[in-house]
């Protein structure tokens, strides 16, 4: 369990729960003649778990790629609010990924993107890289300021290891771990960045029922204990309905519903998108 929850998140922690953290408006992304996203708009609220759902090919991962800076959409904005009462605004669409990360946006990927030959601990320490400030020479020598700084960063990584219950595999190469543990490590690396907004792209894909239950609990712990706002893509509707505060639904690149889990589950357009048929009268 995190024992010093006030250390999370590093950025944006002055926002009050319930105020907008991320505003997406008019987001449009095209690949040649294919429109992956068409005029998408919604708001992610501070302190919420916001799910993005939809059939395969709906544009969910493309949306996260736009917010995290991997894709550059042709139109629209993704505005991140930071500072006291959200006074500072940043249009993520115009920024490079490393600058977005420095603002407190971290993400995991649908396909595991870890360094398989490195240990769990080494992969997690990479999540602290953007916060390390020592110079090249002191880094090469390692003693003095660089060593002291690494000790401080290591303390935070240890908290994440405890939170995700991966103490037993901390010194094992990631490539030797079971799939479920690798997904935990990827979540942990993102959390080690101390994000104010955590983007999770199908964190439970390929897991069995027990692993999904564990991952859902870890996401809720991250949200409740660490105070991190979460935006996730997930196909398991039971999980979405259990852990989400708000749900946005995409279908063929268009936003067809946005509301509470209960509202979305009753929406005729959502039912049609998932079942492929009209509701009977």
For the segment 42-73, what is each residue's pLDDT rounded down to a tens digit? Answer: 999 998 999 999 988 899 999 999 999 999 99
Asked whether residue 165 carries a pLDDT value surpassing 80, the answer given is yes
Average the pLDDT over 253-277 and give the result.
86
Is 192 in contact with 156 (CB distance < 8 Å)?
yes
> Shortest CA distance to 44 belongs to which of 200, 265, 221, 189?
200
List, for residues 234-251, the tens digit of each pLDDT value.
Answer: 888 888 889 999 999 999
- All structural domains of the chain: 5-114+195-274 (3.40.50.300)
- How far apart CA 60 and CA 252 sit, in angstroms, is 10
Enter the pTM of the model: 0.85
- How far apart CA 38 and CA 66 sit, in angstroms, is 13
| Spatial CB neighbours of 246, under 8 Å, sequence gap ≥ 6 | 44, 45, 48, 49, 50, 51, 258, 259, 260, 261
As a whole number, the mean pLDDT across the chain is 84
- Vertex 79: Cα angle to 78 and 85 (nearest 5): 155
Q: Does 10 or 100 have the greater pLDDT score?
A: 100
- How far apart CA 47 and CA 134 sit, in angstroms, is 33
- How far apart CA 74 and CA 248 sit, in angstroms, is 21
List, for residues 119-144, the tens digit of each pLDDT value.
Answer: 999 999 888 877 766 555 555 555 55
Confidence of residue 146 (pLDDT cuts 50, 70, 90): low
> HEC states along the chain?
CCCCHHHCCCCCCCCCCCCEEEEEEEEEEEECCEEEEEEEEEEEECCCEEEEECCCCCCHHHHHHHHCCCCCCCEEEEEEEECHHHCEEEEHHHCCHHHHHHCCEEECCCCCCCCCCCEHHHHHHHCCHHHCCCCHHHHHHCCCHHHHHHHHHHHHHHHHHHHCCCHHHCCCEHHHCCHHHHHHHHHHHHHCCCCCEEEEECCCCCCCHHHHHHHHHHHHHHHHHCCCEEEEECCCHHHHHHHCCEEEEEECCEEEEEECHHHHHCCHHHHHHHHCCCCCC
- How far apart CA 57 and CA 252 sit, in angstroms, is 7
Q: What percent of the chain has pLDDT over 90?
A: 44
- How far apart CA 171 and CA 262 sit, in angstroms, is 43
Take residue 199 and report the two structure tokens written for it: 């983007």
Q: Is the peptide bond before 164 cis (omega within 30 degrees of 0)?
A: no
């Amino acid at each position: 369990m995190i024992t010093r929850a006030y250390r999370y998140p590093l950025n944006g922690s002055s926002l009050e729960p319930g105020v907008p953290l991320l505003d997406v408006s008019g987001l449009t992304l095209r690949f040649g003649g294919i429109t992956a996203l068409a005029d998408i708009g919604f708001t992610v609220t501070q302190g919420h778990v916001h799910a993005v759902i939809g059939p395969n090919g709906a544009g969910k991962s493309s949306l996260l790629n736009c917010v995290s800076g991997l894709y550059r959409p042709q139109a629209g904005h993704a505005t991140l609010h930071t500072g006291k009462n959200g006074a500072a605004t940043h249009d993520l669409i115009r920024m490079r990924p490393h600058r977005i990360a420095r603002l407190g946006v971290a993400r995991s990927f649908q396909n595991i993107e870890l360094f398989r030959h490195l240990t769990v601990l080494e992969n997690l320490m990479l999540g602290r890289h953007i916060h390390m400030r020592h110079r090249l020479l002191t880094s090469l020598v390692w003693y003095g300021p660089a060593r002291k700084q690494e000790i401080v960063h290591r303390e935070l990584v240890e908290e994440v290891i405890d939170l995700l219950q991966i103490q037993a595999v901390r010194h094992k190469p990631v490539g030797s771990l079971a799939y479920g543990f690798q997904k935990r490590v990827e979540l942990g690396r993102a959390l080690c960045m101390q994000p104010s907004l955590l983007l999770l792209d199908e964190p439970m894909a390929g897991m069995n029922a027990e692993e999904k239950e564990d991952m859902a609990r870890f996401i809720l712990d991250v949200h409740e204990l660490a105070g991190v706002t979460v935006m996730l893509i997930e196909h398991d509707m039971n999980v979405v309905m259990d852990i989400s505060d708000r749900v946005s639904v995409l279908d063929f690149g268009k936003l067809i519903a946005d509301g509470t889990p209960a509202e979305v589950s009753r929406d005729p357009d959502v039912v049609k998108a998932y079942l492929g048929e009209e509701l009977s009268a």
